Amino acid sequence: MLPIEPPRAFPMKRDHRWNWRRSATSPKFEGLDVAVVGGTGGIGRALARHMAARGAKVTVVGQTFRDAGTPGIAFLQADLSLMREARRAAAALPAERLDLVIFTTGIFAAPERQQTAEGLERDMAVSYLNRLVMLDELAPRLGGQRTGASARPRVFSVGFPGSGQAGTLGNLNAERSYQAMAVHMNTVAGNEMLVLDAARRYPHVRFFGLNPGLIKTSIRDNFLGKGSLRSRVTETLIGWFTPTAEAYAGRIAPLLLAPDLEAHSGALFNRKGEPIVPSPGLTDAHIREFMAESEALIARTGIQPATA
Ligand SMILES: NC(=O)c1ccc[n+]([C@@H]2O[C@H](COP(=O)([O-])OP(=O)(O)OC[C@H]3O[C@@H](n4cnc5c(N)ncnc54)[C@H](OP(=O)(O)O)[C@@H]3O)[C@@H](O)[C@H]2O)c1
């Protein structure tokens, strides 16, 4: 079976306790300051372009800028496989003015273990740990200089929440054993826990998790081999049966600004933008332990929490 989506340990469940109302008019992005971390490609790029076309001032963080000359989009270059780069990029963002931050950076674990120059397993570093480092730097500053805003600043983390992954403690850097899917599932679990944890940790900000479902992008290149036959066949099949990144961006854009989200920090949403329930097993104690092990791993690179 091709690794096109996480094994379903748990059928994703709608959260029927609440829903948000779509506004009758299109969402107003004019005058908003937005950062899309991972906004140089795939889903992040589609979201950045959608918002910029509607008047937002968007900074995209990534390695390769593909939107030079597009009005409303500025670029901050960073290799987010490195925690020191994540810290630098976050410090360079004008967090105090930002209305929205969206995290979409990611890869898929390679068939053989890859390690960054800082000694971290590469998928963990790119898809999950840099978000922790960036949040730690950004979250305390978020919204500090916004005036007249009707909502708190919002952070959306794109991953695969609600899919039943609780993560496996004790080998987060995959040094004792390595299996690509198991490693990637730790990034999936980590990203879901990051939202649940941050919602409690930073009450002046609103945090949300987005599960886009399958979308044809470059996310599987590192596993399938960029440009390989396997990759082309997989992405073509995904493209036949699933929405494009642009269609997903258009569908989810109203959610980003919906007033009803204000009272639901920590909420997670499926590919249609409907609320879903968190994965089982994500107890407070488990989240604390997972976060502590993640932070200990980051500390090995010499990056200490900014808030310590
Ligand atoms: N597509 C799907 O089917 C799917 C399904 C479920 C969840 N998701 C999640 O959605 C999110 C976005 O994925 P996507 O499909 O949009 O992937 P994508 O098309 O591969 O885009 C990934 C983004 O991450 C950036 N990136 C990768 N390595 C980086 C590095 N070392 N430093 C800085 N930036 C780096 C890329 O920028 P550069 O090109 O500039 O390096 C690109 O902007 C991920 O969290 C993914 O897990 C995707």
Section 149-168 average pLDDT: 95
* Position 27 in a domain: no
Mutate to test the pocket of ligand 1, among 50, 105, 224, 276 (most ligand atoms within 8 A of CB): 105
Specify the pLDDT at position 2. 47
Using alpha carbons, select from 164, 197, 163, 131 the residue that is nearest to residue 270: 163
Per-residue pLDDT, averaged over 146-156, amounts to 91
Q: Residue 8: inside a domain, yes or no?
A: no
Is 212 near ligand 1, meaning CB less than 6 Å away? yes
Domain ranges, residue 140: 33-299
148 Cα to the center of ligand 1, angstroms: 33
Whether residue 12 lies inside any domain: the answer is: no
- The counts of H helices and E strands in the chain are 9, 8
- Would you state the pLDDT for residue 307? 59
DSSP reduced 3-state for 252: helix
> Does residue 51 surpass a pLDDT of 70?
yes
For the cut 60, the answer to whether the pLDDT of residue 240 exceeds it is yes
**Once rounded to an integer, what is the mean pLDDT over residues 66-85?**
98
Pairing of β 73-77 and β 57-62: parallel
- pTM confidence score: 0.96
Beta bridge partners of 155: 101, 207
Answer yes or no: is the C-beta of 44 below 6 A from any ligand 1 atom.
yes
Distance 158 CA to ligand 1 centre (A): 9
Closest ligand 1 atom to residue 44 Cα is 16
Does residue 11 fall inside a structural domain?
no
CATH of residue 40's domain is 3.40.50.720
Q: Which two tokens stand for residue 41?
A: 């490609």
The mean predicted confidence, pLDDT, of the chain is: 94
Contact yes or no for 157/209 (Cβ under 8 A): yes
The verdict on residue 187 lying in a domain is yes
pLDDT at residue number 205: 98
pLDDT of residue 23: 84
Q: Which residue has the tokens 């910029």?
A: 52
Query: How many angstroms separate the CA atoms of 104 and 36, rounded?
Result: 7
Q: Is residue 28 part of a domain?
A: no
Contact 103, 157 (CB under 8 A): yes
pLDDT tens digit sequence for 221-239: 888 999 899 898 888 888 8
Is residue 67 a contact partner of residue 60, using CB atoms and an 8 Å limit? yes
**pLDDT over 90 (residue 155):** yes
Residue-wise pLDDT tens digits, 189-199: 999 999 999 99
Residue 137: strand pairing partners: none
Coil vs helix vs strand at 194: helix
Q: For the residues 97-115, what does the mean pLDDT come to?
A: 97
Would you say residue 10 lies in a domain? no
Pick the residue with more confidence: 55 or 234?
55
Nearest in space to 46 (alpha carbons), one of 231, 308, 244, 263? 244
Q: Does residue 16 belong to any structural domain of this protein? A: no
Total domain count, the chain? 1
Q: What is the CA radius of gyration of the chain?
A: 18
Say how far apart CA 308 and CA 305 lie, in whole Å: 5
Q: Are 181 and 109 in contact (CB under 8 A)?
A: yes
Residue pair 225/173 in contact by the 8 Å Cβ criterion = no
